[in-house]
Amino acid sequence: MKSVLNNAGQHWNHTLFWQALSPRSGKIPGVLEKKIIADFDSVAASKESFKAAALGQFGSSWAWLVLSGNGKLAVTATANGSNPLATGEGTAILGLDVWEHSYYLDFRNRRADYVSNFLHLLANYDFGEEQLTKA
Ligand SMILES: [Fe+2]
């Protein structure tokens, strides 16, 4: 049963992840930016929190920006094929694959650089805002 959950989770996680990437990343759209500032104090603080979650989870994992049940944005990380839907931590706004296969070819063991690259150059914040506004 656990293998079914992990494989289904990985399918769900990657489906969201592909949409969370964009060649036109950069500026965070207004609704999402306002919510990030309200809940993290600043965009920089939210990115540092996300990065800490991505780096703090040992082994194969995922990092998430979620809308928690209390209505606030938060960051979390899940192991293997799990996700915030499975753990009940909230609605996924953005997710980042931090399995080694996702970054080793380009970044070797520099997971921190991979996460920074995502946050500053690849994250699809327009998609994130869509997830936020329909949650
Ligand atoms: Fe992956």
Residue-wise pLDDT for 85-125, tens only, equals 999 999 999 999 999 999 999 999 999 999 999 999 999 99
Q: How far is the CA of 46 from the centre of ligand 1 (A)?
A: 23
Tell me the three state secondary structure of residue 27.
coil
Average pLDDT of the chain is: 96
Residue 128 banded pLDDT, cuts 50, 70, 90: very high
Q: Is 12 exposed, middle or buried (0-12, 13-18, 19+ CB in 10 A)?
A: middle
Domain coverage including residue 108 = 2-134
pLDDT at 25: 86
Query: Model confidence over 56-71: pLDDT tens digits?
Result: 999 999 999 999 999 9
Q: Is the Cβ–Cβ distance between 115 and 50 less than 8 Å?
A: yes
Q: How far is the CA of 41 from the centre of ligand 1 (A)?
A: 31
Give the CATH number of the domain where residue 116 resides.
3.55.40.20
pLDDT at 3: 85
Q: How far is the CA of 106 from the centre of ligand 1 (A)?
A: 14
Among the listed residues 70, 56, 55, 36, the one whose alpha carbon sits nearest the alpha carbon of residue 103: 55
pTM over 0.85: yes
Q: How far is the CA of 97 from the centre of ligand 1 (A)?
A: 6
Q: How far is the CA of 111 from the centre of ligand 1 (A)?
A: 14
> Would the pLDDT of 55 be above 90?
yes
- Whether the CA torsion 56, 58, 62, 67 is positive or negative: it is negative
Tell me the CA distances in angstroms from 72 to 12, 114, 117, one per residue in order.
Answer: 23, 26, 25
pLDDT at 87: 96
Q: How far is the CA of 14 from the centre of ligand 1 (A)?
A: 6
**Domains identified in the chain, total number:** 1
pLDDT at 64: 98
Question: What amino acid occupies position 43?
Answer: V
Q: How far is the CA of 54 from the centre of ligand 1 (A)?
A: 14
